Amino acid sequence: MSPLSEQLLERVEHHISAIYHENPLGADLEGLAQALIESIGASPEGAGAFQHINHWSQRDAILITYGDSLQNDNEKPLVTLRHFLDDHTAGLLSGVHILPFYPWSSDDGFAIIDYSSVNDALGDWNDIGAIASSYDLMADLVINHCSSRSIWFENFLRSTSPGKDYFFTVNPEQDLSAVVRPRTTPLLREVMTAQGPQHVWCTFGHDQVDLDFRNPEVLKQFVSIIHQYLKAGVKIFRLDAIAFLWKVPGGSCLNLEETHEIVRLLRTLLEHTAPDTLLITETNIPNRENLSYFGNANEAHCIYNFSLPPLLVNSLVTGDCTYLKQWMMSMPPAQNGTTYFNFIASHDGIGLRPAEGLLSNTELDTLIDTMQAFGGHVSYRTLDDGGRKPYEINISLFDALRGTTRGEDELGVERFICAHAIMLALEGIPGIYIHSLLGTRNDYERADNTGSYRAINRHQWNYDNLVSLLGDATSNHARVFAAIKALLAIRQRQAAFHPNATQFTLHLGASLFGFWRQSVDRRQSIFCINNVTPREHSVALSDINLISTQEWSDLISGDHYTPDDSEVVISPYQSVWISNAPDYEA
C-alpha cells in the first residue's frame, strides 16, 4: 500500500473510530474503512488541495423544484422541467435541486421506498442524466429514515437481510421526554416482527422509520447509494434531516457528535472521489446549532441559512429591519471551502425554530397572525412537557408578502421583488424555489385534497398555461419572473457578489436594510440598500461613505451619482445596488 493510500485509510479509520467508539455491534473498523473506500471508489491522491477551495462563484444560483411541478400532456415531467430550464432560464441558473425523485409512499417524496430507482411517473435515469449534463444537479440523500414500504423495512419485519438490523428500536418504558421533536405524532410505532413486537423510532411520522446507524451496514448502504448518484451525475448532495441521525435515548437526540462525525466522514470520502462535489446540510434548527455543521471547514460545504426566511419576511411585513440587521451582524463570514445556502422560500414552510432567540415571542405571534390573515396555516411540534409550539408557517411567499401587519395593500409585487434583491445580494449561494420564481399563489385546493398544510406551496402548473401567463406582461407572474431573471443576470457579472466576498452590515436605521459587499481583490464595492417600508426614504451618500473621487451607479436602475449628489431617494420596497465598478467580474 502506498503512503497516500495509508493516509486515506488512516483518515477514514479515524472517522469510524469516533463514530463507533462504543462499537456495540463489534464492527471490524479497519475492514469497514477499507470497504467504504472501495464502495465509493475513493482515490488517495489530491484531496488535501481541495478542502479550502471555493467550488462556486457569483454565477451560481440553484432552482429548487419538485420533479412534477411542471406538467405537460404526453410528456414525462422531468422532460418538461428540462424544456423550461433551457427555454426560459438559459444562462441564469447554474444548477437545479430536484426534490426526491425516487419511488415514495408519503411526505411528497421524503418517505423513500427505493433509493436506486427514479419514480416512473417522473421519468427515468436518462432524464435525470440529461438535466445533470447541463446543470449542477442537487439531489436529496434522505439519510435519517426510509419508507415503511421499503424492502429494508419489510425484511426488518421478517428478520431477514438486508434490513434485519437497519432500524432504530427502543424500549417504550425508557424516558424519551427530552427528545426534540419536529412533529406532533407519537415518536414510537409498535410493529410485529418475526421476533415479536418491536417499537421503532419515527422522528417525522409512522411511515418514515428511522434508520439505525449504530449498525455499520447501514452506513455502507448509504455510501454505496452516494456512489450510484455520483455516477448518475449528482453534483450536490442535500443531507436531509441530518441533525436527527444519531440517537442516544435519554437525551435530545439532536446534533450529536456522532452525527457530525458522519458528515465529516462523507466529506472525506467525497474529497477523495469527486473533489468538486458539495455537501449541504438541511438542519431546520436554531441558528447557532445550524452554524455548527460547518465544523472547522471539514463538514458541510454549505448550510441552509434557515434564519433568513422568517427574519426577512418579518422585516418586510413590519417595516422594521432591526432583528434582521442584528442577526446579520452576528453571522460569521464563511471560511474558504464553505459558504451559506440562502433561500427565502422552499417546498416546506417558513421555519420558526431558526427564529428562536432572534425574534421575541411577541414578534413571532404577530408574524403568525399576519401570515394567517394572508391565508397561511401553522404546523406544530411537540414539546417535552407534552405541549405544542408553532414549528413552521405554511404559505406561498408571494401571499406572505402581499401586505403588512396592517393588512393587504397594492405593493405586494414590489415587496416580493425586494425580498429577492436582498437574498441575491447576500454572502452565499442563492436557492430560488420555483414557485417564487413564478410568483405562484396559495394552492388551497391542493392543501385540502392532500390533507397537508405544506401542499399550499406545492402547486403543479400546466406547462402551456404557465407559458401563456409568462408571456402576458401584465400578469404578476410575468412581472415577478422578469424581475428576478434581471436581478440574476446582474448578479452574475459582479465579483463583489461572489459567495465568499466581504460583507459588512450598514447602520441606516430601521427602515433601510443595507450592507456592503467587496470583491476579494477589493476592486469592486457594492452598497446594497433596501427600503423595507411602504414609504419613500432617503439616505445621505455621506452615510455610506462613497468615495467622491470615484463614479458610482445603481446596477439595477442604471442611475449615476456624482460628488454633487447629497442623497439617494429610495421608493417603497426599492432596492439599489450602488457600485463603483459595474460588471466587474474579476
Total count of residues recorded for the chain:
586
Q: Cα–Cα distance between 66 and 122 in angstroms, integer? A: 10
Q: DSSP characters for 431-459?
A: EEEHHHHTTPPP-HHHHHHHT-GGGGG--
Contact 434, 63 (CB under 8 A): yes
Annotated catalytic, 240? yes
Q: By three-state DSSP, how is residue 358 classified?
A: coil
For 180, 345, 389, 478, the CA distances from 177, given in Å and listed in that order, are: 8, 32, 15, 50
Q: By three-state DSSP, how is residue 487 classified?
A: helix
Q: Cα–Cα distance between 400 and 419 in angstroms, integer? A: 11
Q: Are strands 502-505 and 560-561 parallel, antiparallel or unpaired?
A: unpaired
What values do phi and psi take at 517, rounded to 5? -115, 140
Q: By three-state DSSP, how is residue 24 classified?
A: coil
Contact 334, 370 (CB under 8 A): no
Contact 142, 112 (CB under 8 A): yes
Burial class (CB in 10 A: 0-12, 13-18, 19+), 452: middle
What values do phi and psi take at 518, rounded to 5? -135, 135
Q: Tally helices (H) and strands (E) across the chain.
A: 17, 27
Burial class (CB in 10 A: 0-12, 13-18, 19+), 8: buried
CB under 8 Å to 110, separation ≥6 — which residues? 100, 104, 140, 142, 204, 208, 240
Q: Which secondary-structure segment (H or E) carries 300?
A: none
First to last CA, the chain: 43
For 67, 83, 154, 226, 282, the CA distances from 232, given in Å and listed in that order, are: 16, 20, 27, 10, 22
Contact 42, 277 (CB under 8 A): no
Amino acid type, 514:
G
**Annotated active-site residue in 212, 240, 320, 554:** 240
Amino acid type, 84:
F
Q: Which three cell numbers stand for residue 580?
A: 463603483
Q: Cα–Cα distance between 50 and 336 in angstroms, integer? A: 10
CA-nearest of 246, 149, 262 to 201 is 246
List active site positions.
Answer: 240
